[in-house]
Structure formats: structure tokens, C-alpha cells
Structure 1
């Protein structure tokens, strides 16, 4: 699980986006911030609440130059059927990647071997394709898109302000820290 500060592995996959089937690859994220949002399966219980929550933040993420890719081991056909059947999933405008072979899920080391399902995992990837943050929760613990947006803002801030770091609960516009010998033991 030592994926922080490592590049994502190359991939190609079929996906569902904006009413169409599309092909996506690791090349599509070069030069952009990206979120890879893994979830166990379509037509389940916690997953649609998370995906809907993320859909509500998609426009804000787009305005920050962030592309979102949800990923499960279902097919892109299943994603379309779920999109058509569920009001919550029907509001999704980001790319829903089908990973039936599990290649992408294994690339991010979140495959539940023997089950063929992805863990509930989120990865923030910078424009160079380097993983900057990750979160993995147990099956029954849903994620919070507001906190994801906060982490993206912090990652973007740190990337554009070398020598500064964001403390716990940092919100955009708040003070940051400049690590130095003078700061040791003073916080």
C-alpha cells in the first residue's frame, strides 16, 4: 500500500459518460488533476449514496480542473443500466469506468481477491499522474465528498506553494504552515 507519491499505472478501459460509451486511458488525465473513486458494485446500498454525493460536487471539481472517474468491476453496460434505473445515479455526469478484468482495480491495489470487487477507495492524482492522497474505508463506511473537495484544495495549494503545508482541518483561505527548525515543538 505504498502508493503515495507513485505514478499511476497505464490503463485503457470502456466507460459510460453523458449518455455514451467512451474509451478512457491513463493518457486522458495527463496534465489534469484527477480523482479515482473505487466502489464495490453497482445496484448496491452505500455506493449510490457516495456516487450521488460526488455528483453534487462534480461541477465544483470541474471548475478546479479536476476530472472524476468512478471505477467498479462492473461493465460499462451495467453502469448505463444503473444510470437509467436510479434517480441518484442518473444525475452523474462524470466518467463511470467499467473494470470487469480488475486491471485498474489491481493497479491501485484495491481488489478484493476472491470476490472480484473493489474496495471503497479514493485516490487524488496530480497533473503529473502522481498519487497525492488516498482513502480506503470498510464496506459499510461511506465517504464524504465535502472532505474530498477539501483534500483536493489542500493538494492543489501545496502543489502551487512549495515550502508550505496545510494543517489538520485546513480550509481554503486559512493559514498554512512553513515547516522549519524554528517551528519544531511550537505547535
Structure 2
């Protein structure tokens, strides 16, 4: 069952951010755009490349009103240790959420049963807490932060411009489409 267009479920978790442990809940997330970026585990191989890539675009996301929550089933203590020892992870300024009780991984339906690890899942939520975009990739395939940024720009444009849609490969400033009977079969 897809979680697309569903609302963020209640949760409580502890995250590592800016040198501190921070308590988080669903109430802290609502009211702004959010990215939940699930990955299998700290101290692994593909995960730090993705998280560093995301760290590089985090300032741009913040300017767009988007907060980032990276999530694995490791603890917040593990996140701190990884942040303190890895040059790639040391770049991270967004939330690194511990999900050792699997509440978030289960809520977003990315927990691998019998393994206790989350799949590589990316979820973009609007300010009402509704999941507007999701992507799940296999463990051996890393995600691209630039493509995520493009998709978030398209989502924000689409939401703020009723009656317009963003075609494939749409980039900020490019033409959009206005679906109508006249357009049917002409694209």
C-alpha cells in the first residue's frame, strides 16, 4: 500500500543536530516542507555518499523553507559518533534521527522485516504533513540530491500555481503545462 498523499503519523524520536541531542515529534515537522531521508545504517558505504550529497544542498533547501530529517534505525548516539569521525558525515547540519524503535520506518513503510534496517526511502512532505513525493531505491543504488532538489522545486511550484503542471525534466523557470481539453493528444 502506498503512503503517497497520506499524512505524517505521530512519532517521538531523538535526533543529533548541531552538536546536541534534540527531541522530535510529528508536531515539530508540520508547518514547513520536510524531507525524510531513510538509509540502512551508519558506518556503511553508499549511505555516507548520499548524506554528504544532501548536506551540500541543505543550505539551498533551507532557503526554500525545507527541513531535512535523515533517518536510520541506529541510535542518536551512533549518529553523533559517526558525525564526529567521518569527514563526509561531519558536513551534516540537518537532523540525524535515531529510529531504534522502528516507529518512523514502520510509519513510512520502509522497514525491512526480519532485518531491522530501513530501505533507502525519500519522502517529501508539504507543510500540512502530507506525503507529496516518495522514492525507494535498493540498497546498492545511491540517490542524487540535485534531482531531489529539482523535484522539490517542481512540487513547490505546482502547489503554488493551481492549474499548472510541471512536465518531465522541468527546471525552475521553464515552461509548464496548463491541462485542458485542447491539450489532449497534442503533446
TM-score band w.r.t. shorter chain: over 0.9
Partner of 1:150: 150
1:106-140 alpha-carbon deviations (Å, 9 max, x no partner): 00000001000000010000001000000000110
Aligned with 1:87: secondary structure? Answer: coil
The number of aligned residues is: 187
For residue 41 of structure 2, give the secondary structure of its aligned residue in structure 1. Answer: coil
Structure 2 counterpart of 1:180:
180
List gaps (5 residues or longer) in structure 2: none
Corresponding residue number in structure 2 for 1:13: 13
Using the TM superposition, name which of 24-33 and 37-46 deviates more.
24-33
Q: What is the RMSD of the two structures over their aligned residues, measured on CA atoms?
A: 0.5
Superposition map of 1:1-187 within 5 A: 1-187=1-187
Q: CA deviation at 1:3?
A: 1.2
1:2 deviates by 1.6
Q: CA deviation at 1:29?
A: 1.6
- C-alpha distance in 2, partners of 1:165/1:35? 21
Q: TM-score, normalised by structure 2?
A: 0.99
Q: CA deviation at 1:31?
A: 1.2
